[in-house]
Amino acid sequence: MALLKNLTSYIRPLASCSTTTPRFLPLTIRRGLGIPPQYLLDDYTPRYALLTSTDAAKKRSLAYTHLSNCNLCPRKCGVNRFETTGHCLIGAETAKVNVIAPHRGEEPCIQGFHGSGSVFFSGCNLRCVFCQNHDIAHKRNGFDLTPEELAEWYMKLQDMGHVHNINLVTPEHVVPQVVLSILAARDMGLRIPIVYNTSSFDSLESLELLDGLVDIYLPDFKVWKSETSKRLLKADDYAETARESIKAMHEQVGDLSFTSDGIAKKGVLLRHLVMPGKEDEGREIMRWLAENVSKDLYVHIMEQYRPDAHVGKKRRVSRKRGTGDGEEEVEEVRYAEINRAVKDKELGSVKEAAVEAGLWRFCEANEKSLFHL
């Protein structure tokens, strides 16, 4: 548990401020960014705080039922996770966690002034060949925590880290544990919003279980074509699943809304990472979002793709000789088609398609270096 102990010492210096004076913390200033009135909230109470005790008990019981016949993601393994594991290789009693810490690498409206209370879960139900967190997602490095232990960490993030939200990163395969942890934290006094930070490879059953517990959905819509998702994400039905999931998320929480300090409290923040040579798919995604989800959807078109994980790795393969019989060994670069950064032209093309489709709420800095809300 060395890592978790280190995290405690990381959070502790902030904690000492909370009981005396907050003068060492950055002042919470109001950003004069002109939030459109329809997305401005006077105040906000997290959805989990409004659940009745009967609804909370039903969710607890449903979480255990799902674990004993797991259909919580589109892999639909149907296994009893108390006895064995499915495709994600994670059991029932605990979730594997790699890092828990206040995080300042998110969108300004999510990370705010004090950071987003991020919990990076290990393991994943996708196998993206370009995964930028592959040591966590593919190798499942981390510590096993029960839902109650997770809840205690949420409380530390809130009370000592003063974070703006609890940000559950890659939680699709541990939704029951997450549900139980939120309900436990609610009983311990949690009062900040829950962010569900997902690849969108979620099942509708899973999203139904989360309804009433999550305030902000942060779905990624990665690729549009099934041949691309089969090759690069190792899932044939990714786009179809993402379409269903994102619609269901939007039906639950609507468009992204903020309190007057510019911090997001409720709604959907959609991410799309533009991939090299895949700008046509990005354009298709933007059109679909505008026509089928909402033209008022808050969208972050991301440009930070870089080759990682399996991309660009060399391997030796056998190939038939051009003339005559026999084979020869040659070196090949894996996934060579995405072994480069994204060009400005590709990024611009996706942004242009988004505007043409009628989307207008983008996570990007304006001419005064202030972020649009």
Among 11, 35, 73, 223, binds ligand SF4 (CB under 6 A): 73
Q: Where are the beta strands (DSSP E) in 161-211?
A: 166-169, 194-198
**Cβ-based nearer residue to ligand SF4, 79 or 342:** 79
Q: Which is nearer to ligand SF4, 126 or 359 (CB)?
A: 126
Q: Which residues, in sequence order, are CB contacts of 274 under 8 Å at separation 6+?
A: 282, 301, 302, 303, 305, 342, 346, 347, 350
Nearer to ligand SF4, 78 or 105 (CB): 78
For ligand SF4, the closer CB: 81 or 266: 81
73 carries a ligand binding annotation: no
Q: Which two tokens stand for residue 144?
A: 């096993």
What binding mask, one character per residue, do residues 24-63 give for ligand SF4 by CB under 6 A, x or -? ----------------------------------------
CB nearer to ligand SF4: pick between 87 and 225? 87
Q: CA 239, CA 221: separation in Å to the nearest integer?
A: 8
Which of these ranges, 86-94, 226-234, 262-270, 363-371, lies near ligand SF4 under the rule CB under 6 A?
Answer: 86-94
Q: What is the rounded distance in angstroms from the CA atom of residue 138 to the CA atom of residue 337?
A: 22
What kind and span of H or E run contains 311? none
Q: How far is the CB of 157 from ligand SF4 (least distance, A)?
A: 25
Angstrom distance (rounded) from CA 236 to CA 326: 35
Residue 77 host element (H or E): none
Q: Is 88 in the site for ligand SF4 (CB under 6 A)?
A: yes
Find all residues with CB under 8 Å of 250, minimum gap 6, and list them: 217, 268, 293, 294, 297
Written as six digits, the tokens of 135 are: 């040591």
Alpha helices in 220-305 (DSSP H): 226-228, 238-253, 279-292
Considering the complex, state which of residue 3 and residue 89 has its C-beta at the smaller distance from ligand SF4.
89
Q: Is there a binding annotation on residue 17?
A: no
Mask: binding to ligand SF4, 173-212, rule CB under 6 A, as x and -?
x---------------------------------------
Outline where DSSP puts E strands in the chain.
40-41, 95-103, 116-121, 143-145, 166-169, 194-198, 216-219, 257-259, 264-273, 298-302, 314-320, 327-333, 361-362
Does 124 sit near ligand SF4 (CB under 6 A)?
no
According to DSSP, residue 114 is labeled T
Nearest-approach distance from CB 214 to ligand SF4, in angstroms? 17
Query: 146 to 165, contacts with ligand SF4 by CB under 6 A?
Result: none
Among candidate residues 269, 263, 303, 305, the one with its CA nearest the CA of residue 108? 263
Residue 172 CB, shortest distance to ligand SF4, in Å, is 7
Q: Distance between CA 99 and CA 102 in Å, rounded? A: 10
- By the rule CB under 6 A, 343 interacts with ligand SF4: no
| Member of 7, 14, 77, 353 binding ligand SF4 (CB under 6 A) | 77
Q: Which residue is nearest to ligand SF4 (CB)?
A: 86
Binding residue count for ligand SF4, defined by CB under 6 A: 14
Q: Residue 79, interface with ligand SF4 (CB under 6 A)?
A: yes
Is 109 labelled as part of a ligand binding site? no
Among the listed ranges 6-14, 74-82, 254-262, 319-327, the one in contact with ligand SF4 (CB under 6 A) is 74-82
Residues in binding site: 124, 128, 131
Residues in binding site for [4Fe-4S] cluster: 124, 128, 131
Please report, as ranges, the residues that interact with ligand SF4 according to CB under 6 A. 70-73, 75-77, 79, 81, 86-88, 125, 173
